[in-house]
Chains A and B, each alone.
Chain A
Amino acid sequence: MGGKEIGVRSDVFFTFYFLLSTFYFLFSGESMIKKRVVLTFPKEIVEQPITCHLIKDYDLIVNILSAKVNPNEEGRLVVEIGGQREKLAGGMDYLKGLGVSIQPLAQDVRWNEAKCVHCTACIPICPSDTLSVNREQMRVSFDSERCIVCGLCLKACPYQAVEILF
């Protein structure tokens, strides 16, 4: 009986602690957050060391997920940017000031589970393990958080089970 009581108390304690820390992270402005965005660069600025500034001046962690940058052409970067909330906002303002357009990368690619037949044709094609397979069940699943919107699965899926939404 005593053991159970302690169990209840520690549950309450952890719930309380969890809520407190969540509030702290949400409102302190000190929290680390991550954002996945598509950055489109006008061709005039593609050769500037922009990501370098983001990292140095704003203390941000920039993880390039996919890139298409050629001299004298509009460039497109898909990046995951992490850092403190305020610094991240500052970094975004810096990019906007340069004429970079920023679009959130949120579920641009949709997987239609009802259409998927779990053939696994997309598995070796998807570079980010967004589409992955449980080898026991030989069933495929889609983790939209990982998707870098490279579009490769669209051509590889014979069942039109993935679509890109603009």
Chain B
Amino acid sequence: MVKTIAQINERIKKGEVVVVTAEEIIGLVDKKGVKQAAKEVDVVTTATFGPMCSSEVYFNFGHSKPKIKAQKVWLNNVPAHAGLAAVDVFLGATEIPENDPANSIYLGAFKYGGGHIIEELVAGKDIRLKAISYGTDCYPRKELDTWINIEDLNEAVLFNPRNCYQNYNVAVNLSNTVIYTYMGVLQPGLGNANYCSAGQLSPLLNDPLYLTIGMGTRIFLGGGVGYIVWQGTQHNPNVARTDKGIPKSPAGTLAVLGDLKQINPEWLRGVSMTGYGVTLAVGIGVPIPILNEEICQYTAVKDEEIYTQVIDYSEAYPQGKPGSLAEVNYAQLKSGKIIVRNKEVPTGGLSSYAKAREIADILKEWIRKGEFLLTEPVQKLPSVDSKIRLKALKER
């Protein structure tokens, strides 16, 4: 049974399409076998919701009178990047306010920053914009202090150079003091273990070899429609995999882009990591067209078949030392406890499985109602046959 994306789109338009979520396909394949399931199902929806650093927005705020060539810009006192044109601005999710004591007054709380401004922009709140410049003949103004609102911006775009990690580490702390990391608060002596993936619902774990997800794939991005535009930074397909092709450590990533004006704050949230910094949580849903049995089989992956590595964030991770303390699967992680060095360690998530579920359901509804058509990727993501190796920095 081989289908094409064009055929699936025809079925979507006629209201005949069969869509299930990446959770529902598991039972279906168990019950009916992969052959029958591949015949019956046209699309499987996958999703994830979690903190995704490497997120940012860019926008054009329009020319003032007289005009300014913004050289330095602050949004609610958080520095943004203006070094690309006159009134185009980039704001990164991890940027913190000017004069934030950060960790110099230990422990930094990081209650507010780029990620929160992005959330507020999306929620329609006014944001204070300050800009300074050196003045030119065509752009004579040197200072600007005003308020902006997403409605008045010419373009506002969410652009995430690295999202949707295909699998991620489980973070623990072997030291004897609490540590504060981007993986959350880690209690001493293996006090807790934090993970960050939707497992069996996660987009790239349902298409582990990138057979359907590629450049140009239309996706659910923060409640609006977005696109995959490139592989994400640190995309690393050549890691150890199970015999079913599932990577056993962080592997592929996606760069995604979408209209910020379509986005809903329900699916885009500012994140504060005590002692670490701020970032943005992003909700993403990716449809997988069931073109053949092989693709169907991949989407039927279960939590107990997805393994990842337990890494010590007190020493091994910060020092860049290799070494995994244990290999665990997502069924164990989601049960609430794993075993590391003969100790039972309680687990906590950073990625929200409940929200991923909701997103997979919403995307399913969009497709069922004919509101969302699938796209043919214009180029594939580099896969295991590529020469890509993730490099560490060589200091010179």
Contact = CB atoms under 8 A, between A and B. Distances in A.
Interface residues of A, number: 20
Query: What are the 8 tightest A-B residue pairs by CB atom distance, in nearest-first order?
Result: A124-B346, A124-B192, A118-B354, A138-B353, A120-B349, A155-B274, A117-B352, A156-B185
B245 interface: no
Given A117-B269, A117-B355, A155-B180, 17 more contacts: A117-B281, A118-B352, A119-B351, A120-B347, A121-B349, A123-B336, A135-B334, A137-B354, A138-B334, A138-B354, A155-B185, A155-B274, A156-B274, A158-B272, A158-B273, A159-B269, A159-B281
A93 to B, nearest CB: 40
B52 to A, nearest CB: 12
A119 B349 contact: yes
19 contacts: A117-B49, A118-B353, A118-B354, A119-B349, A119-B350, A119-B351, A120-B349, A123-B348, A124-B191, A124-B346, A125-B192, A135-B335, A135-B336, A152-B185, A155-B180, A156-B184, A158-B272, A158-B281, A160-B272
Contacts of A139: 354
B267 to A, nearest CB: 10
A133 B185 contact: no
A155 B192 CA distance: 14
Interface of B: 49-51, 107, 111, 180, 184-185, 187, 191-194, 269, 271-275, 281, 334-336, 345-355, 357
B353 to A, nearest CB: 4
A135 B352 CA distance: 12
Contacts of A133: 336
A60 interface: no
Contacts of A124: 187, 191-193, 345-348
A158 B185 CA distance: 10
Given A119-B350, A121-B349, A121-B350, A160 B355 contact: no
A157 B351 CA distance: 12
Interface in A109-166: 117-125, 133, 135, 137-139, 152, 155-156, 158-160
B59 to A, nearest CB: 25
Most buried by B among A124, A152, A155: A124
A152 B346 CA distance: 15
Interface in A61-120: 117-120
Nearest to B273: A158
Contact of B51 (A135, A137, A138, A158): A158
Contact of B350 (A125, A135, A158): A158
Contacts of A121: 184-185, 194, 348-350
A124 B186 CA distance: 10
A119 B352 contact: yes
A121 to B, nearest CB: 5
A125 B353 contact: no
Contacts of B334: 135, 138
